[in-house]
Amino acid sequence: MKNVRVLAVIVLSVLTVCSSAATLTDNFNNGISSANWKTFQADAAGAPWTISAGTGAVEISKPADNDSSTMYQNATAGFLSNFAIEGNFSVSIDFDLRTFPLAPAYGWNEAQFKVITEQGGEFYSLRYTNNVDQRAEAFCNVSPYVINSTGNSTMLGKLKITRQGNTMSAFIDNGTVETLLGQKSSQLFLGKTIIQLLVANVWDYPGPRPNTALDVRFDNFTVTAGSITIPEPMTMFLFGLGGLLLRRKK
């Protein structure tokens, strides 16, 4: 009964239910809630990530590095939801790309907003840079993967993902205009879904990853869904296996 009582406290503290929909908001003013999120990071030697909150946003940052031992590995940091959402939903997060340079040669610098379903589906709304320009993208793990990639220099705005039935849609908002980046339908997009936010130096053949400094802030997370629950531990583990995988251009 102890676990049941604890779960009830968690759910009541983060959910607002009205009109058959559940809503969760998090402004991170009191840090990163361990009830809502778990953090992760893969550091470059001598250039560890810093994940901090409590000043009105989550800051994920790293200095530039010269770590040759991890130049063909991804340097990543972010956080993954402890809760799952079901039914039709809308999820959004504000972003502030304080330090977000072009990749020097190969690979990408990325700020990802991603949902992962229990069916194995993954769908992203993201900002990234290659070695040419700043871009925004709708991406998924269902071929042809890159739904749409477009030049976009929004440094302060909002990323959003919605689901209607089995159709996912990705949006970016520059503070004035919300733009549809792309949408995709798949049976893999059904079922319980968790949320991941991630910042990364990502390598790509023939190599190596960008070694630039990055500083990205996330704030004002909002989700409205049919329901929001805390899944069983094993279910969360299986979600997490997908959640830590990075996208690959195909």
Integer angstrom CA distances of residue 160 from 24, 25, 27, 71, 232: 15, 14, 16, 31, 27
Instruction: Supply the pLDDT for residue 159.
Output: 98
Instruction: Supply the pLDDT for residue 242.
Output: 52
Quick one: which of 55, 103, 95 has its CA closest to 78? Answer: 95
Contact 190, 66 (CB under 8 A): no
Instruction: Supply the pLDDT for residue 21.
Output: 86
Q: How far is CA 71 from the centre of its chain?
A: 23
Instruction: Supply the pLDDT for residue 18.
Output: 40
pLDDT digit string (tens) for 141-154? 999 999 999 999 99
Domain ranges of the chain: 2-243
Instruction: Supply the pLDDT for residue 56.
Output: 85
Please confirm whether the linkage preceding 101 is cis (ω < 30° from 0): no
The reported pTM is: 0.88
DSSP track, 207-247: -------EEEEEEEEEEEEEEEE---HHHHHHHHHHHTPPP
pLDDT digit string (tens) for 93-133? 999 999 999 999 999 999 999 999 999 999 999 999 999 99
Integer angstrom CA distances of residue 177 from 12, 119, 166, 220, 241: 34, 33, 26, 18, 35
d(CA 15, CA 164): 21
What is the amino acid identity at position 227? Answer: S
Contact 102, 133 (CB under 8 A): yes
Quick one: which of 85, 78, 79 has its CA closest to 118? Answer: 85
Q: Does domain 2-243 have CATH number 2.60.120.200?
A: yes
Contact 139, 145 (CB under 8 A): yes
Please confirm whether the linkage preceding 206 is cis (ω < 30° from 0): yes
Instruction: Supply the pLDDT for residue 244.
Output: 47
d(CA 112, CA 138): 10
Integer angstrom CA distances of residue 111 from 16, 118, 134, 155, 190: 28, 23, 11, 11, 24
d(CA 183, CA 192): 19
Instruction: Supply the pLDDT for residue 182.
Output: 98
Under-70 pLDDT residues of the chain: 1-20, 231-250
d(CA 241, CA 42): 15
